[in-house]
Chains A and B, each alone.
Chain A
Amino acid sequence: MLEKISHLLGRKPPEHATRKQLHKLLKRLKHRQRELEKRCEHTDDAHERKRLEREIKVIREQRRKGVHLYRELRK
């Protein structure tokens, strides 16, 4: 009972909440990556293209990290 109370009163969110949020965040990042890739395809400005490519690269790395963490949490 005490465990239940401390869980109820505890600040740490349950693991499934973090996993759910992670899933949502990964979807959002994927969507953003697709959007940036489309914009990158249509831009002629070299400076803008470089900026977009950099952002895509960072998102890809964040997604890779996120997918790994998501799989760990699912285990």
Chain B
Amino acid sequence: MLRKLLLPVILAILAYGLWLSPEFKEISAGVAIFLFGMLSLEEGFKAFTGGRLEGLLRRTTDRLWKALGFGVVTTTLMQSSSLVSVITISFLSAGLLGLAQGIGIIYGANLGTTTGAWLIAGLGLKVKIAEYAMPMLVFGVILLLQRSKTLRGIGYVLAGLGFIFLGIHYMKEGFEAFRSAIDLAQYAVPGIQGVLIYTLLGILATVIMQSSHATLVLTLTALSAGQITYLNALGLAIGANVGTTITAVLGAIGANVDGRRLAAAHVLFNVVTGAVAILFIQPFMAVVEHLARWTHLPAGDFTLRLALFHTLFNLVGIVLMLPFTGRMVCWLERLFRVRRPAVVRARYLHEAALEVPDAALAALRKEVVHLFEQAFGILAHGLNLHRETIISDFDLDHLVEAPPRLGDYDIEAHYDLRLKQLYGDIIDFASRLRTTLPEKRADELYQLRNAARGIVEAVKDVKHMRGNLVHYTSHENPYIRAEYNRLRAMLAKVLRELHRLLLEEDADVTFLSLDRLKVEIREMEREQDERLEQLIRARRITPLMATSLMNDAGYAFDAAKALINAGQTLYRASDQAEDEAERSLQLEKDEIDRLAGGDQSS
């Protein structure tokens, strides 16, 4: 209700203000143009995130200090902490980043974003930047109309910078004109009371505009025009720092528990930093003054002093919070617990992950591995084996001969509980991702969806053969018992190898070693055919047993092949070039058949 009312109220107040004052109109237009510029800039950088930024993020955030450096550098370059936090949340949701690393990036982004104040105070207010805005807009818009994604990205960046410069110009002009009409400085509130009031105003302005940069530019332009006092401007800067967490909080709404933990860490860091800055405002001002004199800043230049203050209190915040990051992670993990539902749902597929193609595909890959993990238990029990038995190093050929103990296992019920919804989530996510994914990545998506289908079909195959499997593995006829046990051992071997490849990352099992398994299965298939004929001829098994075995062997071999194919799709080497090299040596079907000795053509 409150949210519904808020927008009309804000619009009405704005309309009244715009009608009342031409200066206010100019300042508001400046803010609007500036915000539009920020959106364009973000859009432009998003065009470049198709691999490079994600790759960099993955490689350079394995340590907390590296994550911090990454946050500083990327936010300084892109001048958008929002984009960095949204990407961080999407990567965290996709399970590609740890919470501690995510927090490190957020710390760094807070420091990186302070460079914006330096640029505006140092250049934006001193140079006539509107003159640069026009050519940027012209070239930007021309490039925006191009087909190439890279050119369009450059166009968005140029147009974004042009709008930002133009916005700053309008705000500056507006405040200059405002100064001749009304002196806002007469509303200045002195002392700590003023800092507190203006901090709240800063939070409010940033929440409404959803940009700390916009609040800072407004503050800097108002300060340079003498419309607000230096002390009150400090309050506004602190408020902008706290208010900016709204972007992360909104970004975390569609994220999983890790995304919410990161948003909470962001809020916590900025609130603590803001509180420290308010509590120690006088010592901070003294240090700023000392540093200003030491760096020979002009005596009356309060805008650069504000930029210095902004950087300083964020730096102090990082120094204060960094040693407690580990404890913060533990605390946040306790505060936001993962709820385990009765029906298994997707772990990594969240709205936030859809934002970035690389993150979305990585999340989907992890989810299909999760699907395999769930299917592993069902398949193991469906074969009358325990998970631990399959994972162990014991000889499976001997283990399957032990009397079965899971005769009453309801594979259908477990499928409904652990796979059905999860598979549905995967299909839903893949369909939504297809609409936003670049064409060249569509094949990857298609393969992942096929891998998920292969895993689910393998479970269905085992479900079909389970009735006979339970019956014949405890049958008095040793021949039919041995045949079904062979099928069980074969499928258990496939599961063991895939578990080692995908979940244990065992060095002995590689993408290419699965080709050996394919050859083995092909050989087994042929041998089984030959044995079946001999068993029928020698009347060792009845015709009914033979037809059951033929059907079930078909199910078992289909399941094994589908699982191996899924495993090869899901496996990813740590390096892209290594991955491509391994895939180029993968054996084709005819090569497998030839090695298994079943291809007559060769």
B344 within 8 A of A: no
Chain A positions 34 through 75: 1 when the CB is less than 8 Å from some CB of chain B, otherwise 0: 000000000000000001001101110111011001000000
Instruction: With CB as the reference atom, state the residue of chain B lying closest to A17.
Output: B577
With A57-B519, A58-B587, A58-B595 as known contacts, state yes or no: A9 contacts B50, CB within 8 Å.
yes
CB-CB nearest in chain A for B588: A65
Interface pair A22/B584, CB less than 8 Å apart? yes
- 0 or 1 for each of B519-555: is its CB under 8 Å from A? (1 = yes): 1100100000000000000000000000000000000
Instruction: Indicate if the CB atoms of A5 and B520 lie closer than 8 Å.
Output: no
* Interfacial chain B residues near A18, Cβ < 8 Å: 577, 580-581, 584
A25 to B591 CA separation, bound complex (whole angstroms) = 20
Among B50, B150, B516, B577, contact of A55 (Cβ-Cβ < 8 Å): B516
Q: Point out the residues of chain B lying under 8 angstroms from A59, CB to CB.
A: 512
CA distance A5 to B595 in the complex (A): 45
Contacts of B576 in A (CB 8 A): 11, 13
**Closest chain B residue, CB of each to CB of A58:** B516
Chain A: how many interface residues by the 8 Å CB criterion?
A: 28
How many residue pairs link A and B with beta carbons under 8 A? The number is 76
- When distances are taken between beta carbons in the complex, the residues of chain B under 8 Å from A5 are 150
CB pair B580 A13 closer than 8 Å: yes
**Cross-chain contact of B512 among A9, A24, A29, A51 (Cβ < 8 A):** A29
Smallest CB separation, A37 vs chain B (Å) = 15
Contact of B578 among A11, A21, A57, A65 (CB under 8 A): A21
Q: How far is the CA of A6 from the CA of B51 in the complex (A)?
A: 12
The yes or no answer to A31 lying at the interface (CB within 8 A) is: no
Task: List B contacts of A9 (CB < 8 A).
Answer: 48, 50-52, 150
Contact partner of B515 among A2, A11, A13, A62, CB < 8 A? A62
Please measure, in the bound complex, the distance between the C-alpha atom of A58 and the C-alpha atom of B592, giving whole angstroms: 8
CA gap between A35 and B297 in the complex, in Å:
70
Which B residues between 48 and 86 are near A, CB-CB below 8 angstroms? 48, 50-52, 55
Question: When the two chains form their complex, are residues B587 and A65 in contact, meaning their CB atoms are under 8 A apart?
Answer: yes
Interface set of B (CB-CB < 8 Å, partner A): 48, 50-52, 55, 148, 150-151, 512-513, 515-516, 519-520, 523, 575-578, 580-582, 584-587, 591, 595
Chosen A-B contacts, 22 in total, with CB atoms closer than 8 Å, are A2-B150, A8-B52, A9-B50, A9-B51, A11-B576, A13-B580, A18-B577, A18-B580, A22-B581, A24-B578, A25-B578, A51-B520, A54-B520, A55-B513, A57-B595, A58-B515, A58-B595, A59-B512, A61-B587, A62-B515, A65-B585, A69-B584
10 cross-chain pairs, A with B, having the tightest CB-CB distances, nearest first: A11-B51, A21-B581, A17-B577, A21-B577, A13-B577, A22-B581, A58-B516, A62-B585, A21-B578, A25-B581
